Amino acid sequence: MPVLFIGHGSPMNAIENNEFTRSWRDISKKIPKPEAILAISAHYEREDSSVTSNKKLKTIHDFYGFPQELYDQKYDCSGSKELVTKVKDLVKKVNFDSKWGVDHGVWSVLSKMYPDADIPVVELSINRKLSMQQHYDLAKKLYKLREEGILIFCTGNVVHNLVLARMPGTPYKWAIRFDEKVKKYVTARDDMKLVNYELLGEDALLSVNSAEHYIPLIYSLGATNKNETASFFCEEIVYASVSMRCILFEASKE
């Protein structure tokens, strides 16, 4: 299976028909239908590495101040005991979490990609105690899941600075520069430059002012090998400081 990194942006995408949501719908038709989905989301952080263990995952509306229509949205996907077991076998130090469900970083996108909610989903938490290198190394352990038809679905934003967001707003130059730098290093597969993003200067520090939206990108790199092709879509910055960049990693078809 390929690996996806999705810039999910505003929860409003879940109820809108726009260039982003159409691209998510289109990408689902370009890749094989997954047997199951392992999601790494910016919005599922814990002090440990956990996986959602529910049979049915509740739809979490982890935001406030939006229209009622958004809170009425449900994404009634099932969990997967089989996938939970596979992740546990590969990662070892993983706990089970029956309280979490699917957060908006996951369901707002999957509701466009797979509106029937007929693919089992498991979320793997972002462990706040891990370094960026440890996140990358953990992702490498997940690679084998792809051989079994499991989509590793990473959802965050390359540039995500809500403190400086403005609407409407021309993108900040620092946001444009860092977003393009990420594209350059992903294309070159210079993964360590991206793992050690703090060394890339002020543009990086402004773009990744809280790392939880950036960490899913590191999982997408760790779960792929350097011979795979990276293609980009949704290459736009919204609210001046949120990159919608999405990346599809796939093995050569030759």
Distance CA(214)–CA(65), nearest Å, equals 24
Task: Assess whether the previous peptide bond of 171 is cis (omega < 30° from 0).
Answer: no
Paired sense of beta strands 246-250 and 229-233, if any? antiparallel
pTM for this predicted structure: 0.96
Strand, helix or coil for residue 55: coil
Domain that holds residue 163: 3-250
Partner residues linked to 56 by β-bridges: 78
Q: Where are the alpha helices (DSSP H) in 202-245?
A: 202-207, 215-222
**pLDDT, tens digit (0-9, with 9 covering 90-100), for 77-97:** 999 999 999 999 999 999 999
Closest CA to 57 of 102, 96, 124: 102
Distance CA(253)–CA(12), nearest Å, equals 35
Distance of CA 9 to the CA centre of its chain: 11
142: phi then psi, degrees, rounded to nearest 5? -85, -10
Orientation angle between helical segments 132-141 and 81-91, nearest 10 degrees: 120
Task: Indicate the average pLDDT of the chain.
Answer: 96
**pLDDT, tens digit (0-9, with 9 covering 90-100), for 139-156:** 999 999 999 999 999 999
Q: What is the structure's pLDDT at 254?
A: 57
Q: What is the structure's pLDDT at 101?
A: 97
Q: What is the structure's pLDDT at 235?
A: 97
Contacts of 217 (CB under 8 A, 6+ apart): 5, 154, 156, 158, 182, 194, 247
CATH number of domain containing 230: 3.40.830.10
Closest CA to 86 of 137, 16, 136, 141: 141
Domain tally for the chain?
1
pLDDT bracket for residue 205 (50, 70, 90): very high
Is it the case that residue 253 has pLDDT exceeding 80? no
Closest CA to 103 of 77, 83, 80: 77
